[in-house]
Structure 1
Amino acid sequence: MGGRPGMSQFQQIALELPEEIYSEIEHLTEEEKNSFFRNVLQEQIEQRKTSDLENQMKQGYLEMAQINMELCKEFEIAEEEALRTGERLIVSKE
């Protein structure tokens, strides 16, 4: 379908619905049906994007937790050595 410049292009899809679902919307005008389906699809797309983003963030936090754990293990030896050195200094001053 054409349109004025700057306007969104529209694509049509054929959609098969079970009778029990179609009976719920058959009283709507064509424009109301189109608007209804556009809104439902947009909501579902936004929910999926949000869900995908949440999953990506969750995965990122899990990966960072693993990296942080590895860093803590690497510095554990250095911290123990610093603690022993500090204790020796305290003992030697007494």
Structure 2
Amino acid sequence: MSQFQQIALELPEDLYSEIEHLTEEEKDSLFREVLQEQIDQRKTSDFHNQMKQGYLEMAQINMQLCKEFEDAEEEALREGERLIHSPTYE
């Protein structure tokens, strides 16, 4: 079994005229390179979108955690201030 697969591709005449002087091997190479570049760009874009989505989801989770501990932090702050200002601390 060959490691290559063939595809048929239709191009507008003006685009084809830009590459018609190339050999078949050069055309094959050109299409492989362009296709690989496009696939790589798409993968990078998909990865960035997944990362962005993950950060947005984590931001929501972090915001919920902050709200859940807000009362405990205020209580700790009040207690710390009370201890600092108490006569036994001085």
Global fold match (TM > 0.5): yes
- Gapped runs of 5+ residues in structure 1? 4-8
Amino acid at match of 1:92: S
Aligned residue number for residue 79 of structure 2: 85
Task: Report the identity percentage.
Answer: 83
Length, aligned pairs only: 88
1:27 Cα deviation (Å)?
Answer: 0.2
The within-5 A match list for 1:40-79 is 40-79=34-73
The answer as to 2:19 corresponding to 1:19 is: no
Q: Does 1:32 align with 2:26?
A: yes
TM-align CA RMSD: 1.2
Q: Which runs of 4+ in 1 moved over 4 A?
A: none
Task: Tell me the distance in 2 between the aligned counterparts of 1:87 and 1:29.
Answer: 81
Give the TM-score of the pair, scaled to structure 1. 0.87
What is the TM-score with the length of structure 2 in the denominator? 0.91
Q: Which has the higher contact order (CA 8 A, sep 6+)?
A: 1
